[in-house]
Homo-oligomer: A and B are copies of this chain.
């Protein structure tokens, strides 16, 4: 498959467009492509085209848009993964895998046991970093949609937002096996897919019992079997399980 590049905007067959700087660098410096080489270009919102490199110069890298091309299909259920920020670079892996398995959006959250504060996330420009990870993952996995990375928020702000939804959508909080007697099993979830859903996943240290109690008013508590998963593997495993139940696979 030809290399894929993200170029946001409205364009169609026959148009000449410039690639954004990051993408131009990738095309010229990493992949060393030249004028005449075939590529694919997608707009990040679901449209993808065959394209041909027309210029690679200091002034910019341009491509001519060709025929529309089918990208990897998007799931019918738009899952927002509300994931506690993990330590070190692990959140990069969470974002990469969430994009790849088919999440629609990623909402980083800060919980009681999250080891980094909202201020520090902002100062470190972590959201921008995760956006680059999401673009890179979309390019590799074949999606023409780049899931949005929301501004990180406190756990309570997320709960307020779920509570305030005019049309409630299902929300699922993944809890540790044995964390509570009230967790439902995934097989109790209806096979009929909702249009949207939110999946809450905690940090390495887990949720506090207070967080579980408060979430229980707006979320269904679920587990993934009786074994304890790595924090950074919970997202992909939970989304894979939900998609299997909703027949996305």
Contact of A244 among B96, B177, B245 (CB under 8 A): B245
Q: In the complex, how many angstroms separate the beta carbon of A80 from the nearest chain B beta carbon?
A: 17
Question: Could you tell me the distance between the alpha carbons of A141 and B140 in the complex, rounded to whole angstroms?
Answer: 31
Question: Could you tell me the distance between the alpha carbons of A238 and B247 in the complex, rounded to whole angstroms?
Answer: 13
Q: Are the C-beta atoms of A249 and B223 separated by less than 8 Å? A: yes
Q: Are the C-beta atoms of B187 and A100 separated by less than 8 Å? A: no
Q: A233-B236, A241-B249, A242-B244 in contact; A225/B186 too (CB < 8 A)?
A: no
Binary CB contact string for chain A from 214 to 249 against chain B (1 if under 8 A, 0 otherwise): 000000001111111110010011101111110111
Q: Are the C-beta atoms of B142 and A226 separated by less than 8 Å? A: yes
Identify the closest chain B residue to A74 (Cβ): B226
Give every chain B residue within 8 A of A187 (Cβ-Cβ). 244, 247, 249
Give every chain B residue within 8 A of A100 (Cβ-Cβ). 227-230, 233
Question: Could you tell me the distance between the alpha carbons of A247 and B249 in the complex, rounded to whole angstroms?
Answer: 16
Binary CB contact string for chain A from 174 to 209 against chain B (1 if under 8 A, 0 otherwise): 000100000001110000000000000000000000
A38 contacts B by Cβ under 8 Å: no
Contact of A142 among B186, B222, B227 (CB under 8 A): B227
Binary CB contact string for chain A from 89 to 127 against chain B (1 if under 8 A, 0 otherwise): 000000011001110000000000000000000000000
Q: A230-B97, A241-B244, A244-B187 in contact; A249/B236 too (CB < 8 A)?
A: no
Give every chain B residue within 8 A of A143 (Cβ-Cβ). 227
A75 contacts B by Cβ under 8 Å: yes
Q: Are the C-beta atoms of B140 and A225 separated by less than 8 Å? A: no
A157 contacts B by Cβ under 8 Å: no
Q: Are the C-beta atoms of B225 and A102 separated by less than 8 Å? A: yes
Q: A241-B240, A244-B240, A249-B223 in contact; A228/B140 too (CB < 8 A)?
A: yes
24 A-B residue pairings within 8 Å (CB atoms): A72-B226, A75-B225, A97-B230, A100-B227, A100-B228, A100-B229, A100-B233, A101-B225, A101-B229, A102-B225, A141-B228, A141-B229, A142-B226, A185-B249, A186-B247, A224-B249, A236-B237, A236-B240, A237-B237, A240-B244, A241-B241, A241-B244, A244-B245, A245-B245
